[in-house]
A and B are shown apart, each in its own frame.
Chain A
Amino acid sequence: MKKKKSSNVVKYNRWGYIFLIPFFVTFIVFQLIPLFGTFWNSFFENYRSGRQQIGPNFIGIENFKTIITSGLIWKYARNTLIMWVLGFVPQIFFSLLLGAWFSDKRLSIKASGFFKTVIYLPNLIMASAFAMLFFTLFSEGGPVNSILVNLHILKEPFAFLNDIAATRGLVGLMNFVMWFGNTTLLLLAGMLGIDPSLYEAAEVDGATSTQKFFRITLPILKPILVYVVITSLIGGLQMFDVPSVLTNGKGNPMETSMTLIMYLNNHLYSKNFGLAGTVSVLLFLITGILSFIVFKVSNEKNVK
């Protein structure tokens, strides 16, 4: 009897593996091999000079030396993180606020389905189209400037895209508008999963809304918050389309809105696979380290 049961389990397991094959084949061919390929490429000198192919020649860690001594990667990493924070702070604030409102049984917002759809809509627009729209709106002869000048708020048109803070701010704003709906839905799902009896008990004890939010919602929501922070961080480090389209691929002004992936793209554009591979590997390490830090920090608090 016992024997039969265990063989049954083995049989089912086998099917499980068979069903997993397509995923693993796709994963290995399209993800794992390219991943190792990137590491492999980063050790080679491999680029085009005019119409001539140079390499691939194995040069060890020479590429890493080049990238790190030029120091540009840190500058671009800083740009990327600044723009990510500019977008992420308002994003998490509004998402928590909206999530709390939507999930509050006592508020019971009417047509919440409609609003949830509406706040998600910006995410459906192609990022490049969205960036193009902002580029036109905020250009020096664009509608935003003419409105501000006509309302006598500005004396003369302001060159938003020539200004470091304004350009970074616009990128942050766009990322915020595009992603806060998505984050709201994630947090909302977490909040709806919280047992309502906790809130009822708190109310009986005379807790205010603020207390309920900080003492009940946030602590229980922590795993989802960590997930949101880490996915958003990874997404933020890979920021590319919005700043690239907004600044025409240049990262103007003065490369202050140039992100890591734009740097990578510049190398790929000149078919410099060696340095591009190196930048990718470094980006992989940076992402890994930052994610690890976020994970560690949030877990520590849990222990306390």
Chain B
Amino acid sequence: MKRKLISALLCAAMATTLLAGCGGKTTDTNKANNASSNNEAKDGGDVLNIYVWNTEWQERVVAYYPNYEKVDDTTGKIGDVTVNWVITANQDNAYQNKLDEALDNQATAKDDDKVDIFLIEADYALKYVDTPDALPLSELGLDDSVFANQYQYTKDVVTDSNGQLKGASWQGCPGALIYNREIAKKVLGTDDPAKVQEAVSDWDKYAETAAKMQAAGYFMTAGATDSYRVFSNNVSSKWVVDGKINIDPNIKKWVDMTKEQADKKQINSASSYNLWQEDWKKGFFTDTANVFCYFGPAWFIDFSMSCDQDGSVGSAGGWAVTQGPQGFFWGGTWICAANGTDNKDLVADIIKTMTTDPTVLSKIVEEKSDFVNDQTIMEKYAKDEKFGNKYLGGQNPYGIFASGVSSVSLANQSAYDQGCNEEFQNAMTDYFAGKATYEEALQTFYNKITAKYPDIKAE
């Protein structure tokens, strides 16, 4: 019955698109026959609505998209088109809820209110990629050859089950261990990345180094969840298997290791073991630097570590990058074209320019030290000995990042990852703080997840 209804709906949608195509200015049979786009788009809308959760990409567009004029923090102009940035914080699925609401109204919204571009993260990419909400890029006139130079994993994230590419990213997010040179010199006697790597090459050595740091009065990491991604990216199973929550052995390994370090006070507990807290950020500044290392990708150094502020460790070139115990990736932002956009040409041009234009990407590398999504460019910079990152005391980190990118695997991604990752880390915080047993913390996690995702069962 349901299937019949859906197919009837799809037929109706197809018929409408066909008719709309005939009545429109351009009769493109290719487009009209495509059932997945049930909102026929015309070009040249006056307003370009972009849904994002922070200002990272906005800063890139403002700086590098030709003809972009900044009006204020949430508006801009490209030629005659007004660009409207709708920014909703990411935490607790708030951004997804906001986006869902807008996409639900997409069919009935006025042209100027329609979502044109939305950004997604790997943690929930599948939710939007495998639905008609995101337009296949081929429909915008961007076929796969345009993105030939991009790293494969960045394409895997946004490829739907029919093999269509539905988004693109300008960055790659292989992570590395970012350590404080000063503290490395004091405790390990060297700040040379190759030698420091020997001290953190696997988790046993990492634990030994953590003990040394503690003896010298430093914390190994600023919070318990710093190392989380390194483990969660190297799992062998998905968060949700057959509709039930599944705790991967590697995730459990993270819990055990972190609990041990938290008990030994090798982790700064003042941040309540969480990321992004004031106390967690103390390690970024020279006066309060109490932390040996952070885990992060290239954007972390540029966007999160306050390196542009006076008195920060980064502004004095006090960080360095090394491989760390295991390869991982963290974050990454993909640009999707919303189904029903009234600015197709502009959207296509923005995606093409911002994610594939070699001049733009090279500038992003040189000026923003980001790791861009172009294998040729990154290989060039990795070999370029003159090129150094001033926040890293002149070290060229791209060789290290580029070697990490090859090991990134997305085989175990699921559409529930954001909620699971957030709630698991949050629940385990109580265990690390000694307020709950592992079983109790796990129960809390189950409670939160079943409330967040009604279709998942705890056990």
Contact = CB atoms under 8 A, between A and B. Distances in A.
Does A pair with B?
Answer: yes
Interface of A: 47-52, 54, 70, 72, 139-141, 157, 159, 161-164, 249-250, 252-255, 263, 266-267, 269-272, 275
Interface string B89-106: 000110001001001000
Interface residues of B, number: 34
A159 B430 CA distance: 12
B426 to A, nearest CB: 6
Given A51-B103, A140-B270, A254-B444, A270 B451 contact: yes
A138 to B, nearest CB: 12
Closest 3 CB pairs of A and B: A266-B451, A47-B454, A49-B455
B453 A162 contact: no
Contacts of B447: 70, 72, 255
Interface string B262-277: 0000000111100000
Interface stretch (B125-133, B245-253, B340-348): B125-133
A137 B103 CA distance: 40
Interface stretch (B7-15, B53-61, B384-392, B432-440): B432-440
Contacts of B278: 139, 141
A140 B272 contact: yes
Given A141-B278, A250-B426, A270-B454, 17 more contacts: A50-B131, A50-B415, A51-B103, A51-B127, A140-B271, A164-B435, A250-B448, A253-B430, A254-B430, A254-B440, A254-B441, A254-B444, A263-B451, A266-B448, A270-B451, A270-B452, A270-B453
Q: Name the residue in A70, A72, A253 with the highest tally of chain B Cβ atoms < 10 Å from its Cβ.
A: A253
A250 B270 CA distance: 18
Contacts of A272: 451, 454
A272 B272 CA distance: 31
B312 to A, nearest CB: 18
B279 interface: yes
Interface in B85-143: 92-93, 97, 100, 103, 126-128, 131, 133
Contact of B279 (A47, A141, A270): A141
A59 to B, nearest CB: 12
27 contacts: A47-B455, A48-B100, A49-B455, A50-B131, A51-B127, A54-B455, A140-B272, A141-B278, A141-B279, A157-B270, A159-B272, A163-B435, A250-B426, A250-B448, A252-B429, A253-B436, A254-B435, A254-B440, A263-B451, A267-B451, A267-B454, A269-B97, A270-B451, A270-B452, A272-B451, A272-B454, A275-B451
A51 B452 contact: no
Contacts of B97: 269, 271
A266 B131 contact: no
A283 to B, nearest CB: 15
Nearest to B432: A162
A164 B103 CA distance: 41
Contacts of B131: 50-52
Q: Name the residue in B128, B271, B272, B426 with the highest tally of chain A Cβ atoms < 10 Å from its Cβ.
A: B272
A252 B127 contact: no
Contacts of B452: 266, 269-270
B270 A162 contact: no
Contact of B269 (A52, A159, A271, A275): A159
Interface string B409-432: 000000100000000001001100
Contact of A49 (B133, B448, B454): B454
A252 B431 CA distance: 12
Q: Name the residue in B278, B444, B454, B455 with the highest tally of chain A Cβ atoms < 10 Å from its Cβ.
A: B454
Interface string B49-83: 00000000000000000000000000000000000
A275 B93 CA distance: 19
A17 B448 CA distance: 49
Contacts of A253: 430, 433, 435-436
B160 to A, nearest CB: 12
B449 to A, nearest CB: 10
A157 B272 CA distance: 12
Nearest to B103: A51
A250 B419 CA distance: 13
